[in-house]
Structure 1
Amino acid sequence: MGPGLFWNFPSKASCTASQSLLQTMLLSRMAGMKEQQFTEEKPLLPEPRGPDADMENCETMMPIGDWKEHDIETPYGMLHVVIRGAPKGNKPAILTYHDVGLNHKLCFNSFFHNEDMQEITRHFVVCHVDAPGQQIGAAQMPQGYQYPTMDQLAAMLPCVVQHFGFKSIVGIGVGAGAYILAKFALIFPDLVEGLVLLNIDPNGKGWIDWATGKLSGLTSALPDTVLPHLFSQEELMSNTELVQSYRQQINNTINQFNLQLFWNMYNSRRDLEMNRTGSMINAKTLKCPVMLVVGDNAPAEEGVVECNSKLDPTNTTFLKMADSGGLPQLTQPGKLSEAFKYFLQGMGYIAYVKDRRLSGGPVPSASMTRLARSRTASLNSGSSIEGSRVSRGFTHSDSNEAPVSHTMEVSC
């Protein structure tokens, strides 16, 4: 095993004690910083440029605007953040966190570059977070560096919130980023108003999966090990242009040593300790509105369904996107933008957003106005979802009446 490869599985009791200590320390740190103002911004860091065409493609995708880069100190090291705009009244900031094998540019550029999404973000400050060492041009971590655990990565985020003076956030996370944001919301629920979680897997890896992944990592190049986590089997087998492009960009624009550390830590994660209220004593779950998103036949489909069974059905929306592959924000950015618009409107924000389709623009074959909010009979919340045409029933043990089921149907 090469340097920097850690396969550390701490005990559950140790994790619980560490989490309590961590929360106390961070709350104390934030209380001491409460009166400070963070109005001075660091200068824009230069983007590394070179002859590599893939990096140039990634750079040119970034929308032109007042994006500024920051390196923020946290108890677990520096965190690279890119921000556009300033806090607007009591509105939350939109904060994103990318998946393993990606960074904020590779993960979110297509989504935030979409015309509908730009119309939405005009009303909010947007903050992209890169996991340590994953940003383009990041220096290689030193030999023997212990990468932050998933709990520690979540615990770095209050420093970002405090640094920019955010009152709260609406998080958008993909894969590992979705796990980190969910963990953050569980520890600091008052800082999170809503979550959009794509491809979240709330379960830790079992020993068989862990050993299989470790063996695969020893016999395959790192990008080829990560790709099955990001894309559906159909996409990988057809070797689409998107998959080829991302294989090259993962290899050429992300430091492979740093990526290996992040990949190892994600695969060492433990279960998100949350369960639907009433399912067990002192059950803990996400309190904010949540939209769960997954593409049809995506590798994370089972994990997202499992996560859905652990959340309050009255404030959870499940969106399964047809023909979107493993990364819906890349392949269906317009439809995801529309779903996000309705999600924000449901929270009481952006009562009106200009829709280019009202002025004669192209109308997708399936509109997000097909949002079904019907009272359903109580069904097994662990049942599968067939395609994007089956409404899902939920149980809620705290009420005698079946709760409102939120189902979004999207097809091409």
Structure 2
Amino acid sequence: MECPRMGQWLSLLLCLLLLLKAEGVAVPTTFVQSAVAKGAVCLDGSPPAYHFHKGFGAGINNWIVHFEGGAWCNNVTTCLARRDTRLGSSKKMSQTLSFSGFFSNGQKFNPDFYNWNRIKVRYCDGSSFTGDVEAVDPKTNLHFRGGRIFVAVVEDLLANGMKNAQNAILSGCSAGGLTSILQCDRFRSLIPAAAKVKCLSDAGYFINLKDVSGAAHIEQLYSQVVETHGSAKNLPASCTSRLRPGLCFFPQNVAGQIKTPISFVNAAYDSYQVKNILAPGVADPHGTWRDCKLDIKKCSSNQLTVMQGFRTEFLKAISVVENSPSKGMFVDGCYSHCQTGMQETWMRSDSPVLANTTIAKAVGDWFYERRSFSQIDCSYPCNPTCHNRVFDDN
């Protein structure tokens, strides 16, 4: 959004205020102290936390519960590395969090959801909110309780007004987007039956793919996450009855059986997956992929061919939800990751569009059933509206 040239200070001030509103509002932290007695705690034993921006007007009984992302920890060593950071302790989290895009309270920037109750749940367990191990080793003081956190947070929100929900959306970004897939039907079961409930996964459709060295890196990682956190009991039984639990961390083995309506917003060239699943550092010891991962425009022709192969595998994996009337899809041909929480990719004059539709419009149409939206973009670099990620060189 740009301010037009204006001669009067008042007009300029109003425009600047609009710009600030578009950038988001700072929302304070709420600590769920009641969760501690239930053992629903972060890796370090501190209480879980969320940021709650209350709804108003016609949206007073509508709720968005969004789970934050931040990858995973797959063993004691990697979980210890997170324990004393914001990804393992509510003591280390910032006191406020910015809300914009899907969470904006401005009608102009978020027309379908601006007046809803909007909650961002902080990520501090390392298991996409699936873990549940009773024992705590006193040597590490690591608590693997993500599944308990999920339930405790929802119960706390129910006690704070969500029990009167007319509409509710479970959403999440990245590892939180995976949460919104794995916990979708559980969320539906916890919300009053009279409410209309749907789920939205943003960049949470991680696929089971061998890396550029031919190793099954992500499959091994997920199996270790599930084992370390005791996640099996909180994964969909429709999957664990057929496959070993580690494979049930992959949406392609779960999504087709989800009963609650769900929609997927994902880049076909998901930048996190390219960097960490397709070409992780362990599979690229000489750094051949380094520049390509930082900026897709710097990829060689051979690397782009491999990336197109990734897209083919991604589309194959997500095909399990195609042609389902209760499931939506916005798969753009961009090099990006997490697009709903930023105003520039959610809804702005230059936002990414697919079938002439912004993500905001597609999600709103899907939720309110104004029309179904299940679209897959053409391959890179065909979409000129993409906001392709360029990462810092560090």
TM-score (norm 1): 0.46
TM-score (norm 2): 0.47
